[in-house]
Each structure stands twice: as C-alpha cells, then as structure tokens.
A and B are shown apart, each in its own frame.
Chain A
Amino acid sequence: MGQVVAMAAARTFDSTGEAYVGGITAALTSVFHLVIGGTYIGIGALAHDFGFASWWLALSTVLVWAGPAQVILISAVGGGAALPEAAVAVSLSGIRLFPMVVALLPLLRRESTRLRDLLLPTHFTSVSMWVESLRLLPGMVRQHRVAFCNGLSTGLMGVAVVYGFVGFYLAAGLPPLFGSALLFLTPVSFLISTARNARELLDKLALLFGLALAPLLAALHVQLDLMWSGLIGGTLAYVVHRLRRAAA
C-alpha cells in the first residue's frame, strides 16, 4: 500500500482552489486509483447482474461511498433479502467508519473551523480516503487541509463512478466466461485486501470466523444470517483477543 513517506515538509498552496486541485491530483496518482478501479469494475458488474440501473449504481457510489456497504446493498436487495435485514447488514458494515471519522477530524480542525466545513470530509470518509489523508495531511499546512481532503475525495469518488460504469457495461457485453471473471473481482479483491489489513490476531480471526459462519448459517436457513455471522464471529474473535491479552 502507500508506504511512500510524504516528501515535502509542511506542504503549502497559494489558494484554497489550488489545494483542492492538489487533492484531485493526489487521488489520481494514488495506488488507490488502481484498487478502486478494480473494485468498482467488479461492483459495476455485480449491479448489472443483479438487475440495477447504471445511474442507480452511480448515485449509490456518491451517496453510500463505501465498497463493502454497496456490495452488501446490491447483493442483499438484489438477491431478495428482507429490506430490514439488508439495512442492518449495511449498517453493521459501516461501523468501521465511526472510528475513522473520529481519528480524521482532529487533523482537519482549526480554531476557526465551522461544523459545516467538516460535513463534506465526514461524508467522504472511507477506507481509501482515510488511509491517504492520514498519510498526506500531517505534512501540510493546516489551513489548506480541508480543501485538499475534499479534492482527494472527489478524485477518488470520480474514479469509482467512472469504473462503475465501465464494469456495468462490460458485464452487459462480455461473453459469460469474462463476465464471471469481472464478478469474481469483488469477492477476491475484498478477501485479499481484508487479509492484508488484518495485522492483529483479532482481525484475522474475525475474517476467518466470518468466512466460515456465513455459509454455515445460510445453509441452516438461519434468519438474518449475515448479521448473526458478523455478531457471533466478531464477538468470538474479540473474546479470544481479550483472553490472550489477559493471559499475556
């Protein structure tokens, strides 16, 4: 991932507009350009095969702006799950956004910052934007951080919307074998990127338990299987993590 250290110390811009453009440039040259491209080509193919419209997908990218939540939304609603269950599953997948916002805002805030200046960065918070913001913002003068962050986010979101359309129309036109390869991008890239982000035992166990429990509960026809596999698998992983820490 982006392990390159920000080079210039206390980077500055001539104006807010320039900071915004600087953010867009950072987005287009980021490694997440590729990651988001692959992910949203997959999500576009998924939306197509579950019968959603391409503009619906674009709007969902702008409004939801979280790959996992969009995959859950599309596959659960498209697959005929009960709407309350889909909403709960989407909401549970979004919990991780909460600590990210909590960690990001102190980097953006100044004495003179109004709450409404933070509304956009709050909505834009997602894994990719968060990782890049925490890497780039500390090396930048504080007065331009909000504009830079908004530019970075618009750039990443723009990439996602465009690749979503690409995946959607590729899935519509490709022979089945290649269409299936596009659809396979989502589970495989999520599997590997989640494994890569799982540095602690807690995250590895949660990944493993979730992978095992969801198909098991679905096979047993348990209602709300996704929600239960998350709550049970996540809590089991947390308990093991606590026990190990207590033993250490």
Chain B
Amino acid sequence: MAGLWPYVILVLVGFLPNEIWRALGLVLARGLDEDSELVVWSRAVATAILAGVIAKLILHPPGALAGIPAGVRIGAAACGFIGYLLVKRSLFAGVAVAEAVLLLGGYVYLR
C-alpha cells in the first residue's frame, strides 16, 4: 500500500467508527447508567467480537507466526491460560508461559 490511501482508510475505517462511541458518550452522558440493559448487551457483543479477533489471530495468523504449526499456537495459548489460572491469576505469568511454550514448540518444529 502506498500514498495517502492507507491514511484515508485509517480515518474512515479506524478513527471515525471508533470515535463515534466516545462522542455519543459525551453528548448522552446524562441519563444512561452502567447497568442499563442496552449497556450490558453491548458489553457482551463487544467482548464476543474481541474474542473472535483473538481466535482468528491464533488460527489464521499473519506473517512469521503462520510458520509455527497451528497445534503449537493453540497449545501455547492453552498453556498460557492454565499458567494464568495457576499463578495467582497473573497476566504476566500467563503471557510468559504461552510465549515459552510457543518458542519451545517453534524451535523443535523449525529445527
């Protein structure tokens, strides 16, 4: 991709669709509370979308990560999650375990 086009995409596809919710929050800040049904439902949809992105990045990854077998990627993510649960629900521990398993599996496979 070259020229101005990526920046046009950034504004139209990235900035505006995201910013509209902040602007709406500013305009409508009065009258809606965090427990309203609309807010609860939208939180669930937002979480499911993010989960979908995570799954697709693990199963159909870009670039160098695609060179690691799918089994190693899924196994590493699962081990990371177990590590997170075992070590005081620590984000750092989970990520460290997942990365260690990925590096080890990738090393064995690429060797």
Partner of B46, one of A49, A92, A115, A118: A92
Chain B 87-104, CB within 8 Å of chain A: the 1/0 string?
Answer: 001011011001100110
Partner of A214, one of B6, B23, B55: B55
Partner of A192, one of B84, B103, B110: B84
Chain A 159-180, CB within 8 Å of chain B: the 1/0 string?
Answer: 0000000000001000011111
Determine if B28 and A231 form an interchain contact, defined as CB atoms under 8 angstroms apart: no
Determine if B47 and A210 form an interchain contact, defined as CB atoms under 8 angstroms apart: yes
What does DSSP make chain A's interface, helix, strand, loop or mixed? helix
Q: Would you list which residues of chain A between 221 and 248 have a CB under 8 Å from chain B?
A: 225-227, 229-235, 237-238, 241
Q: In angstroms, how far is the closest chain A Cβ from the Cβ of B82?
A: 11
How long is the Cα–Cα vector from A238 to B46 in the complex, in angstroms? 12
**Interface range for B:** 35 or more
| Complex A-B: 15 CB contacts under 8 Å | A50-B63, A64-B14, A70-B14, A90-B13, A93-B49, A101-B26, A177-B103, A181-B99, A183-B62, A184-B98, A191-B77, A206-B47, A206-B51, A211-B54, A233-B44
Given contacts A73-B13, A93-B50, contact A101 B29 (CB under 8 A): yes
Q: In angstroms, how far is the closest chain A Cβ from the Cβ of B37?
A: 9
How long is the Cα–Cα vector from A92 to B65 in the complex, in angstroms? 26
Determine if A69 and B9 form an interchain contact, defined as CB atoms under 8 angstroms apart: no
Determine if B17 and A181 form an interchain contact, defined as CB atoms under 8 angstroms apart: no
How long is the Cα–Cα vector from A72 to B17 in the complex, in angstroms? 12
How long is the Cα–Cα vector from A83 to B29 in the complex, in angstroms? 30
How long is the Cα–Cα vector from A119 to B89 in the complex, in angstroms? 36
- B-contacting 9-mer, from A4-12, A14-22, A140-148, A193-201: A193-201
Given contacts A49-B62, A49-B63, A73-B14, contact A188 B94 (CB under 8 A): yes
Given contacts A60-B10, A97-B21, A196-B89, contact A185 B95 (CB under 8 A): yes
Determine if B54 and A234 form an interchain contact, defined as CB atoms under 8 angstroms apart: no
Determine if A83 and B63 form an interchain contact, defined as CB atoms under 8 angstroms apart: no
Q: In angstroms, how far is the closest chain B Cβ from the Cβ of A135?
A: 16
Using a CB–CB cutoff of 8 Å, the interface residues on chain A facing chain B are 34-35, 38, 45-46, 48-53, 56, 59-60, 63-64, 66, 68-73, 75, 77-79, 83, 86-103, 105-106, 115, 118-119, 122-123, 125, 171, 176-181, 183-196, 198, 202-203, 205-215, 218, 225-227, 229-235, 237-238, 241
For residue B98, which residue of chain A has the nearest CB? Answer: A188
Determine if B46 and A96 form an interchain contact, defined as CB atoms under 8 angstroms apart: yes
Top 5 A-B pairs ranked by shortest CB distance?
A101-B25, A49-B63, A210-B51, A214-B52, A234-B45
Determine if B17 and A90 form an interchain contact, defined as CB atoms under 8 angstroms apart: yes
Determine if B44 and A203 form an interchain contact, defined as CB atoms under 8 angstroms apart: yes
For residue A123, which residue of chain B has the nearest CB? Answer: B22
Q: In angstroms, how far is the closest chain A Cβ from the Cβ of B17?
A: 4
How long is the Cα–Cα vector from A225 to B45 in the complex, in angstroms? 13
How long is the Cα–Cα vector from A184 to B7 in the complex, in angstroms? 26
Determine if A52 and B94 form an interchain contact, defined as CB atoms under 8 angstroms apart: no
Partner of A83, one of B13, B48, B57, B107: B13
Q: Please, which residues of chain A bring their CB within 8 A of the CB of B95?
A: 38, 185, 188-189, 192
